[in-house]
Amino acid sequence: MPTWAPARPASPASSFSGWKPAAAYHAAANLAASGVLAVLAEAGALWSAAGLGNASLQPLLPLTRGALDTAAARGLPGAVSGPVARGDTGVLARHLDAMHAAGLPDDLLRALALRQLALAETAGRLDAAQTSALRALLV
């Protein structure tokens, strides 16, 4: 059993009364840590289904690290990239089709794309027509 623990921020739960803030803190921490692992598992499954090799982390980790480094430097809205950030419904539709062709559910991709859309809107990267077209594709 390791004697160390990963660095983490002090729990804000002590400054709140009741269990709800503590539960929200722990849910946020879990999303930021293990949630990323679940996304990588889904990406690995799609990678494998596309015939690109086993569901290995090795080709995906540099992309993840790059996104995290960019987010640290520019903030989340400034770091969002890909077809949603460009307003490219054609590519996004092909991504959804790829999920179906691989026999994988597309609910996670749709949910994450909607959150990317919010970030892209915050960054002012999309016009109203792009936002509307993306939202229509995703909901």
In a domain, 10, yes or no: no
Predicted pLDDT at 55: 72
Query: Mean of the per-residue pLDDT values for the chain?
Result: 88
Characterize 95-129 residue by residue with b for buried, 16 or more Cβ atoms within 10 angstroms of its Cβ, and e for exposed.
bbeebeebeeebeebbeebeebbebbbebebbeee
- Provide the residue range defining the domain that includes 101: 19-138
Give the predicted TM-score (pTM) of the model: 0.81
As for how many domains the chain has, the answer is 1
In a domain, 85, yes or no: yes
Lowest mean pLDDT among 1-5, 8-12, 42-46: 1-5
Predicted pLDDT at 17: 54
In a domain, 7, yes or no: no
In a domain, 6, yes or no: no
The answer, yes or no, to whether residue 31 has pLDDT greater than 90, is: yes
